[in-house]
Amino acid sequence: MEWLVIDKEEALKPGDRVKLHFKCLGLMYAKAAQIAVLEGILGRRKDFVVLSIQVPPETNRLIFTVEVKQTNPVIVTCAVIAGAIALAGTAMWLVLDKTEKLVETPAGKAIGIGAIAIGLIVAMSLFRTRK
C-alpha cells in the first residue's frame, strides 16, 4: 500500500482513504483550539470520518487523513471533503494544496501472494514429516 497523488476531482468510493494537505493562512498559535473545533464539527459528518490530523512541526500545514463512509446522494471527491473541512475551519483560512489516496500496489499484492505461498509450503512440509 502506498499514498499516490490524485486529482481533487477524482470520485471516491466508500472505504477509500485519502490525505488532504492544507496550507494554513490563519494564526498558528491558536492551532490547537482551532483543531479541537474542527474535530467537533467534522465528527458529525455522515459521508466521511477524519482518522487523523497531523501538524508537521514549524510549518503552516495541516494534513487530514479521511476515510469515505458513503457517497449517496452526492459523489464524494477530495474537493467536496476539502470544502467541508475548509468551511468548518474558516478561522484558519485553509487552502487545499495536495491530495493523496491510499492504493494497493502491484508489489504489495506480489508480497502478499508470496507470503501465502511460503505459508502453504511450510504447512505441507510439516504435514509430510508427521506421516
Per residue in 68-122, pLDDT (tens digit) is: 887 666 677 777 788 877 776 665 677 778 888 998 877 655 566 666 767 777 7
> Given the DSSP bridges, would you call strands 2-5 and 17-24 parallel, antiparallel or unpaired?
unpaired
pLDDT in tens, 38-67: 788 788 888 888 899 888 887 788 888 989
Q: Please determine, looking at this structure, whether the domain spanning 2-105 carries the CATH number 3.30.70.
A: yes
pLDDT in tens, 90-100: 656 777 788 88
Query: Looking at the predicted structure, is the pLDDT value of residue 130 above 60?
Result: no
